[in-house]
Amino acid sequence: MRDVEIVTERLRLRPVRSEDRDVVTALGADERVMAWLGGSPTAERSEAWLEKHVRQWREHGLGPFAVDRNGVIAGFVGLSRADFDAGIVPGIEVGWRFVFAHWGKGYATEAARAVIGDAFERLGLAEVVAATTPGNTRSRRVMERLEMVYSPSDTFEHPRVPEGDALRTHVVYRVTRNAWIAGRR
């Protein structure tokens, strides 16, 4: 899958690879970036995240893209299979995390829009979902700019977040292929 590349007006996206280790670890160590994701993981957990997604690309042809802005990795945006076995809303989920210095520049929206388009065109998916905590207004605004629709009936308690934790409740947004195509006309 190393031949998959998406180019947008300002960004170049390519599948994440093992050589991205330093960026993944640094991103994981930044509390500002990880606050809505449960806090900073250990270097070992960051490494495991990276290798899981490199394997996902190899086995399933989807996963996070490294988002390159003028030769610098600004963050990661991509697709992952929601964990059906953990009781999380089934589907292919789009998600993102960016280096703090690149926040507020529209890169998450631009890259996620391109990834969703790829999901519908190259992968032929019927729907893409996104989930976050109710208070993560920045991510929710990105979902809205992507013309994803809030699905209140899909709100769930994340089984991997302890009871009582402020990050346990998650809201879900959805976009179907048909709605995506209609919105592009």
pLDDT for res 34: 80
22 Cβ neighbours under 8 A, 6+ residues apart: none
DSSP string, 119-150: HHHTS--SEEEEEE-TT-HHHHHHHHHTT-EE
pLDDT for res 63: 93
Q: Helices 107-121 & 137-145, crossing angle to 10 degrees?
A: 50
For the segment 33-55, what is each residue's pLDDT rounded down to a tens digit? 888 787 788 888 899 989 999 99
pTM of the model: 0.92
Q: Are the C-beta atoms of 18 and 46 separated by less than 8 Å?
A: no
Q: What is the mean pLDDT of residues 92-110?
A: 95
For the segment 13-37, what is each residue's pLDDT rounded down to a tens digit? 999 999 999 999 998 888 898 887 8
For the segment 120-154, what is each residue's pLDDT rounded down to a tens digit? 999 999 999 999 999 999 999 999 999 999 999 99
